[in-house]
Amino acid sequence: MTIIEPVKPLKASAAFLDRDGVINKEVNYCHKISEFELVEGIVDVLLSLQKKFTHLIVVTNQAGIGRGYYSEQQFQTLTQWMTAHLRSLGITVTHVYFCPHHLSGIPPFNIECECRKPKPGMIMSALEKYNIDPAASVLIGDKVSDLQAAMAANLSQAWLVGTGHPVGQADIEVSDHYFPTMSDLEHFLNEGYVSEIQGR
Ligand SMILES: [Mg+2]
Ligand SMILES: [Zn+2]
């Protein structure tokens, strides 16, 4: 009798994305649809990422909730609008993780949490929930704290974009790649990235 070993399912991959300064233009404490404007070129980048990775997952610090500037409900309303808008453009976001905490916020949000980037808690939750291989996954952020979260979660690459917060040379040196614009990233995804990963 032949015993057929169950095939271990292949692990998934993910592109993790910061939100503010990556998906939408950086506005201090963006929480309204009227303040939400897509970064130029992000739609093409998301469409390309979605061809290369199993999941698109957003990981966003939302200290404005903890500080009482806007409510979790307002954040969720904007999130639902954002994901529906992206879906109408052919882009599926698997999950939006957010951290509402800040030490100088108001109770119950003023805690030392494990999810606020540069800590990797949001990424770690996604790796487990969706059976994602960190070595097959990347993160795109506009701040060093995004990159540090990716590194702490052992993602294969942490990419910095110049579409949000001002970027300096010291920030660039922390990243695996720096893309001043989304069209630079788009070019890299279509020309360079596949051979780079296959060479690992
Ligand atoms: Mg950001
Ligand atoms: Zn948190």
CATH of the domain at 162: 3.40.50.1000
In a domain, 7, yes or no: no
Residues paired with residue 12 on neighbouring β-strands, in sequence order: 132
Distance from residue 76's CA to the centre of ligand 1 (Å): 18
In a domain, 84, yes or no: yes
Give the chain's domain count: 1
In a domain, 14, yes or no: no
Radius of gyration of the chain (CA): 17
Q: Are 109 and 61 in contact (CB under 8 A)?
A: no
pLDDT at 61: 98
Distance from residue 61's CA to the centre of ligand 2 (Å): 7
The range of the structural domain enclosing residue 82 comes to: 23-112+120-133+150-178
Distance from residue 104's CA to the centre of ligand 2 (Å): 12
In a domain, 88, yes or no: yes
pLDDT tens digits for 91-118? 999 999 999 999 999 999 999 999 999 9
In a domain, 2, yes or no: no
Residue 74 token pair: 């307002």
State mean pLDDT over 59-83.
98
State mean pLDDT over 116-123.
98
Residue 92 token pair: 């599926």
In a domain, 5, yes or no: no
Question: Rounded distance, CA 175 to CA 120, Å?
Answer: 16
User: Which three-class secondary structure state does DSSP give residue 114?
Assistant: coil
In a domain, 12, yes or no: no
In a domain, 171, yes or no: yes
